[in-house]
Chains A and B, each alone.
Chain A
Amino acid sequence: MDMKVAKKKLALKEKYRLLTRDLGWEPTYQNKDEIYPYTKYEGIRIHDWDKWEDPFRLTMDSYWKYQAEKERKFYAIIDAHAQNNGHLHITDARYLSALKIFLQAISPGEYAAGKGFARMGREFPGVGTQVACQMQAIDEIRHAQTQIHALSNYNKFYNGFHAFADARDRMWYCTVPRSFFDDAVSAGPFEFMIAIGFSFEYVLTNLLFVPFMSGAAYNGDMATVTFGFSAQSDEARHMTLGLECIKFMLEQDPANLPIVQGWIDKWFWRGFRVLGLVSTMMDYMLPKRVMSWREAWNIYGIENGTALFRDLARYGIRAPAGWDDAEKAIDHMSHQFMLGLYQWSFGTALHSWIPSDDDMAWLAKKYPDTFDKYYRPRWEHIKKLKAAGTQFANYGLAKLCQTCQLPIVFTEPDDPTRSAQREGEYKGEKYHFCSDGCQHIFENEPEKYIQAWLPMPQLFQDPIGGDLAAWMDWVGLRNGKDNGDFDGSEDQKNFDAWRAMATSNQ
């Protein structure tokens, strides 16, 4: 903060208090319950909003100044990237699948988070909390926009990016992150803060951003690295907010503990399922790999998570309920996902492929207990089918989990040979789940989750009526261009041809 004050020398904290918290007042013409109608129904008790510790002290003049510096740098770099055909510097066009997932699945979530934080910036009755949420709201708008702008140039040259706005609302796998963010935004203000502010931004963000941005750096993608770096100091602020929020709730009243713990359990599992896509990117989609998903989990999951929950233990918080099941899934999930993506690749706006012999050797080394035993044989089988001209495709409809909306492709935590499937009944209707975690989430709020929009039943309704081509049209998928095996794809051919133009005299 660089406010200059003439007279008394005010301490930073006091100055900040005068420039933010002191702006608010106790209303007398309207009832507080009507001004802030949503703060009580979740059962969280707050006795004193003034006990909120400002996680960072940033006045608007400094905010504009610092953010403008970052913005100037960011756009200078992506302009240069576009001008110099920076996309030809990536390792290999397979890498693009990771970016396509990012734009279709993550960027819309940034925008949704911004919307949620704007609401929190108004609904919480404490100025300190409100200002922190407002800054995050405007930051999230920034992130959505810088991501779209960074990836816009790729859209000009490659398939799979062009219909991201349609995919967000209609594509079957995009309902996974969409339902996640819709779930958070439809929750009450305190749960939203635990969902996005704490679980996503604090517990899981390193598992998303660090691998993605390192992956971009390793694979020569200057545009993506740049938005990653540029967002980093924003993210640091968001993480502090998330942590302050949970501590504040827990310190205000002991009765808040079980409610908060329930949300941590729920949102850890919700987040873990969404992040499954990252595991696939790390283990399969990066031509030049940073580390395996298992290695990332050991660092950003186990190490950081253990320290965090040790720190929160003094409030009575324990590690999330699904933690052990998550650990058991780590060595399996990327393989299960990629096999799923490959068999349904006719219906994805990104390419997947059969891992090469080198790739499989790497996977066997990184996953010594699982890859050769469970997954190599399946890839070898698929490879044989492809060689025989009968490429494996599963045109049967995937059964989706009612909660996380992923196809039910996972195995039992304690038995990797058995597919995990859960079923429950509510008001005479049957519902399917991928895991105990997702079933519990449903059972705690069945009235919420029975509302979920499931993409598969939609296939048989207007305007599709069971016609695959009509469905592709509806989701903006161009058959033979956006979808299918990378091997032989337009992206592969174009990239190789352009790169040859750029690196040889042919």
Chain B
Amino acid sequence: MQIDLRTVSIQPQRQAFDHLVRRFGDKPASRYQEGSYDIQATENLHYRPTWDPDQLIYDKSITRIVMADWYALKDPRQFYYNTYTLARARQQETTEANFTFVETRGLADMLPEELKQIALKVLVPLRHVAWGANQNNTFVCGYGYAAIFTQACMFHAMDNLGIAQYLSRIGLLLGDTEALDEGKKSWLEGDEWQPLRRYIEDCLVVRDPFELFVAQNLALDGLLYPLIYERIVDGHLSSRGGSAIAMLTQFMSDWHEETRKWIDAVLKTAAAESEHNRSVLQEWTAKWGSRAASALLPVAQLALGADADEAIGEEMAALKARLKKTGIEI
């Protein structure tokens, strides 16, 4: 039997804040809407930045993408700080349990040496790549327009940092601090890594926030995550007896599956806005996509050897198919 508790019932005077009523009509607003829409100052900005007087403090025109309303770039996950943090807290619990499982059962030591070496060679330098991703997403948050878009970029940047830290822990677990030192040396000097490092450093001087969003989140990570975590770790290494490694990278696989929905939604909305946007996005995705593919090839070879070419080709085809659904063809 359900009993309705009685509370004093009084008539609300209004349902939502004015700016939300203008957007969504006179009805109660969700917490995502309250926390995301129109909370960045838009009018009567007082001063030009002393660091670049050609810009406004919040400037729509520093990117080539043009949106009538930047708040159209909503996040299908409806992440605001609370929902974001709760989701990640759950995932870190799982990740922690996975690390503990691998550690307590000594699974790392049972790994065939060859697989362990591949994992170290491929995964450890990627912590620097994830740090680069953190830098780029932090930039997009800092200079992008509209809270609804930029807050998600900040969440993404913190995720990138978290991933860089998980990768560091994998290095420590499999090869101690020497593994991190060697990984860094490869990153700085190893031939296999130089195209990728150049890619990241070239991104660090891109100052169009939306181009950077494309170069980092779509072109590079859109190829890197399926290649490294699905194909190499979950596929190649696991099938040879290295599934312990897959336990340690579960966060990355799940994360990529989740975040690509957001990235695709952003691209789809921006591309649908105008032919101009679509052609700019085509230009960027083609340019950065092919660069990312060739930068990842020597990394893929570390694990896949002669099969790397074909693997990259397949990943590129998959990325093109994914892009096509957002209305961008390359």
Contact of B92 with A141 in the complex, beta carbons under 8 Å: no
* A118: interface (CB < 8 Å): yes
Give the residues from 11 to 29 in chain A that come closer than 8 angstroms, CB to CB, to chain B: 18-20, 22-29
Separation of A288 and B10 alpha carbons in the complex (Å): 25
Residue in A10, A30, A38 with the greatest tally of chain B CB atoms within 10 Å: A30
B216 lies within 8 A of chain A by Cβ: no
Q: Does A84 belong to the interface (CB within 8 Å)?
A: yes
Rounded to whole angstroms, the CA-CA distance of A6 and B172 in the bound complex is 7
Chain B residue at smallest Cβ distance from A38: B51
CB distance from B153 to the nearest CB of A (A): 8
Number of A-B residue pairs, CB cutoff 8 Å, is 263
Chain A 143-159 interface mask (CB, 8 Å, partner B; 1/0): 01110110010011111
Q: Is the CB of B158 within 8 A of A157?
A: no
A300 on the B face (CB < 8 A): no
Q: Is A119 an interface residue (CB 8 A)?
A: yes
- A108 lies within 8 A of chain B by Cβ: yes
Q: Which residues does chain A contribute within 8 Å of B42, judged by CB atoms?
A: 169
Measured CA separation A10–B95 after assembly (Å): 21
B34 touches A149 (CB 8 A): yes
In the assembled complex, the CB of A387 is this many whole angstroms from the nearest CB of chain B, namely 30
CB atoms of A118 and B150 under 8 A apart: yes
Find residues 167-185 in chain B having any chain A CB closer than 8 Å to their own CB: 168-169, 172-173, 176-177, 180, 184
> A67: which B residues are within 8 A, CB to CB?
85, 89
- Whether A122 contacts B142 by the Cβ 8 Å rule is yes
Q: Is A395 an interface residue (CB 8 A)?
A: no
**In contact, B47 and A186 (Cβ under 8 angstroms):** yes
User: Given A23-B128, A118-B154 in contact, is the A35-B45 Cβ separation under 8 Å?
Assistant: no
A185 touches B57 (CB 8 A): yes
Does B257 touch A at the CB level, under 8 Å?
no
Bound-state Cα–Cα, A101 to B132, Å: 40
User: Is A18 a contact partner of B201 (Cβ separation < 8 A)?
Assistant: no
User: What 1/0 mask marks residues of chain B from 5 to 46 whose CB sits below 8 Å from any chain A CB?
Assistant: 001101011111111000000000101001100111111111
A30 and B50 form a contact (CB under 8 A): no
Take A60-B158, A72-B86, A118-B150 as given contacts and tell me if A476 and B18 are in contact as well, using a CB distance cutoff of 8 Å.
Answer: yes
Q: Are A170 and B44 in contact (CB under 8 A)?
A: yes
Q: Mark A435-469, 1 if CB is under 8 A from B, else 0.
A: 00000000000001101110100100000000000
A222 to B44, CA, bound (A): 35
Known: A30-B205, A451-B48, A453-B45. A165 touches B19 (CB 8 A): yes
Q: When chains A and B are docked, how far (Å) is the Cα of A358 from the Cα of B284?
A: 69
B294 at the interface (CB under 8 A from A): no
* C-alpha gap A38/B173 in the complex (Å): 39
Is the beta-carbon distance between B47 and A25 smaller than 8 angstroms? no
* Complex CA–CA separation, A29 to B17 (angstroms): 49
**A166 an interface residue at 8 Å Cβ cutoff?**
yes
Query: In the assembled complex, which residues on chain A have CB atoms less than 8 Å from the CB atom of B34?
Result: 145, 148-149, 152
**Prevailing SS type, chain B contact patch:** helix
Decide if A23 touches B41 in the complex (CB within 8 Å): no
A35-B205 in contact given A134-B138, A158-B13 (Cβ < 8 Å): yes
Produce 1/0 per residue, B32-75, CB < 8 A to A.
Answer: 00110011111111111111100001100000000000000000
Across the interface, do B131 and A165 meet the contact criterion of CB distance under 8 Å? no
* A interface, over-half SS: helix
Whether a CB of chain A sits under 8 angstroms from the CB of B149 is no
Q: Tell me whether B110 is interfacial, beta carbon within 8 Å.
A: no
B278 contacts chain A at the CB level, 8 A cutoff: no
A388 within 8 A of B: no
Separation of A419 and B34 alpha carbons in the complex (Å): 42
- Write out the residue numbers on chain A whose beta carbons fall within 8 Å of the beta carbon of B18: 162-163, 165-166, 476
Contact A5 B131 (CB under 8 A): no
Contact between B39 and A118 (Cβ–Cβ < 8 Å)? no
A85–B165 CB distance below 8 A? no
B81 touching A71, Cβ below 8 Å: yes
Binds B, one of A175-183, A211-219, A262-270, A278-286: A175-183
The CA-CA distance from A156 to B12 in the complex, in Å, is 5
Contact present for B81 and A4 (CB under 8 Å): no
In the complex, what distance in Å separates the CA atom of A29 from the CA atom of B18? Answer: 50
Contacting pair A61 B165 (CB below 8 A): yes
A-B residue pairs in contact (CB < 8 Å), sample of 16 = A6-B172, A18-B168, A25-B187, A37-B51, A59-B162, A60-B159, A111-B39, A118-B142, A149-B34, A152-B29, A155-B14, A157-B10, A169-B41, A185-B49, A186-B51, A453-B45
* B residues in contact (CB < 8 Å) with A: 7-8, 10, 12-19, 29, 31, 34-35, 38-52, 57-58, 80-82, 85-86, 88-89, 91-93, 95-96, 99-100, 103, 108, 127-128, 130-131, 134-135, 138-139, 141-143, 147, 150-151, 154-155, 157-159, 161-162, 164-166, 168-169, 172-173, 176-177, 180, 184, 187-188, 197-198, 201-202, 204-205
Q: Given A3-B169, A37-B51, A123-B142, 14 more contacts at CB 8 Å?
A: A2-B96, A4-B100, A5-B172, A18-B180, A69-B89, A122-B142, A135-B158, A141-B81, A141-B154, A145-B35, A148-B39, A149-B35, A185-B49, A458-B44
